[in-house]
């Protein structure tokens, strides 16, 4: 009889525990979510991050708050996200720059992207575009190459910072064209944009989202995109490969990450809601309007992309000889 009572009591105690985890999962998020944006306001990463935050808030009545933590090619913001508690209330809009390029450039990064962060949802990818001021003497990419060969280290190009995919795109083009342009790093795309518009630097290597508004306004002239195929947003702009540099292909991706050990049910919830947004015509149009290409993935697919690119860019960075103290 005593055993029977104890057995009944054990079942009674176990039942609430069995239903606690799903109830907690359904309550997420129970408070505002901070979305770390590892670049200053105005650049491509900031634009996409704020778009996702706004749409998640509107669609689900969540509160998603962008928090710009720029500097050091995006690595400061990524490091802060990696240190956060793995609760799902700190997420970060990472990109190829700071997730798979920077670890091979910087000698003393405080995070390992593969070990310290977990992929949640891929949002978009974009080619890189080489632009110059509308009144610049450079009318074509060939003009740039000729000038750089005639006077090495005098043609300047700005980027959002050392260690970004965009910075490396310029260095890879230097190698492909056998020229020497001088890199001028900035703390984000907006600062670089102001200087190329003012004519203080000859060129800017930029994500398409960062440069698109100024291109459409006629203030910047796009010379080439660095992806394997032309950008949907800039269909008249040739690829670097089309201009004689076969096999040239540099693009970047954007997506959400959380600290490692964040509960899988939280990751699944975030992934589901982001992918729902990416499937809507409104969100697709909004991302394309910014110069990017929307693309959804499962967490597993995105984590696999992270690992593959992490190893791939090790070789690219080492071959370029670029390092950052």
8 A C-beta contact, residue 38 and residue 45: yes
Q: Is residue 205 part of a domain?
A: yes
Average pLDDT of the segment spanning 256-276:
98
The distance from CA 205 to its chain's CA centroid, rounded to whole angstroms, is 15
Report the percentage of the chain scoring pLDDT > 90. 70
Q: Could you tell me the residue range of the domain that residue 161 belongs to?
A: 127-243
24-74 confidence digits (pLDDT tens): 456 899 999 999 999 999 888 998 999 999 999 999 999 999 999 998 889
Over 70: is that where the pLDDT of 22 sits?
Answer: no
**208, 243, 278 — which closes off a domain?**
243
- Give the Cα separation of 148 and 111 in Å (integer): 37
67-93 confidence digits (pLDDT tens): 999 988 899 999 999 999 999 999 999
Q: What is the pTM of this model?
A: 0.75
Over 60: is that where the pLDDT of 164 sits?
Answer: yes
8 A C-beta contact, residue 235 and residue 188: no
Residues 40 and 104 in one domain: yes
Residues 263 and 222 in one domain: no
Residues 121 and 139 in one domain: no
Over 80: is that where the pLDDT of 247 sits?
Answer: yes
Q: Is residue 17 part of a domain?
A: no
Residues 81 and 133 in one domain: no
Most confident of 26-35, 248-257, 275-284: 275-284
Peptide bond into 55 cis (omega under 30): no
CA contacts within 13 A on the Cβ side of 112:
4
**225, 243, 261 — which closes off a domain?**
243
- In DSSP terms, which residues pair with 206 in a beta bridge? 129
pLDDT class of 23 with cuts at 50, 70, 90 = very low
Over 80: is that where the pLDDT of 172 sits?
Answer: yes
Q: Is residue 25 part of a domain?
A: no
> Tell me, what CATH number does 86's domain have?
3.40.190.150
The whole-number pLDDT of residue 26 equals 61
8 A C-beta contact, residue 321 and residue 168: no
Phi and psi torsions of 18, nearest 5°: -65, -30
Residues 153 and 229 in one domain: yes
Token representation of residue 289: 């309007």
180-204 confidence digits (pLDDT tens): 999 999 988 889 999 999 999 999 9
- Give the Cα separation of 97 and 100 in Å (integer): 6
**194, 215, 243 — which closes off a domain?**
243
For all residues of the chain together, what is the average pLDDT? 89
Q: Is residue 2 part of a domain?
A: no
The domain total for the chain is 2
- Give the Cα separation of 49 and 115 in Å (integer): 23
């Amino acid at each position: 009889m005593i055993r029977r009572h104890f057995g009944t009591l054990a079942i009674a105690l176990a039942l609430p525990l069995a239903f606690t985890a799903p109830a907690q999962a359904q309550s997420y998020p129970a408070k505002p979510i901070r979305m770390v944006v590892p670049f200053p306001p105005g650049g491509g990463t900031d634009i996409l991050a704020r778009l996702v935050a706004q749409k998640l808030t509107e669609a689900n009545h969540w509160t998603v708050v962008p928090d710009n933590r720029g500097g050091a090619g995006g690595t400061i913001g990524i490091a802060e996200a990696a240190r956060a508690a793995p609760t799902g209330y700190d997420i970060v809009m990472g990109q190829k720059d700071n997730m798979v390029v920077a670890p091979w450039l910087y000698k003393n990064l405080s995070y390992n992207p593969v070990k310290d962060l977990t992929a949640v949802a891929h949002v978009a990818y974009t080619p890189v575009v080489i632009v110059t001021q509308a009144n610049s003497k450079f009318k074509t990419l060939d003009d740039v190459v000729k000038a750089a060969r005639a006077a090495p280290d005098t043609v300047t190009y700005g980027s959002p910072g050392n260690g970004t995919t965009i910075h490396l795109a310029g260095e890879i083009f230097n190698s492909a064209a056998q020229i020497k342009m001088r890199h001028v790093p900035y703390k984000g795309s907006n600062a670089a944009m102001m200087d190329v518009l003012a004519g203080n630097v000859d060129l800017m290597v930029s994500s398409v989202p960062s440069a698109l508004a100024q291109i459409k306004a006629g203030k910047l002239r796009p010379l080439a995109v660095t992806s394997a195929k032309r950008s949907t947003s800039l269909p008249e702009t040739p690829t670097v490969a089309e201009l004689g540099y076969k096999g040239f292909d540099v693009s970047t991706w954007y997506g959400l990450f959380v600290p490692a050990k964040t509960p899988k049910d939280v990751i699944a919830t975030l992934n589901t809601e982001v992918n729902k947004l990416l499937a809507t015509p409104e969100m697709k149009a909004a991302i394309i309007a910014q110069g990017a290409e929307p693309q959804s993935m499962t967490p597993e697919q995105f984590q696999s992309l992270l690992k593959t690119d992490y190893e791939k860019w090790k070789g690219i960075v080492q071959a370029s000889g670029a390092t950052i103290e």
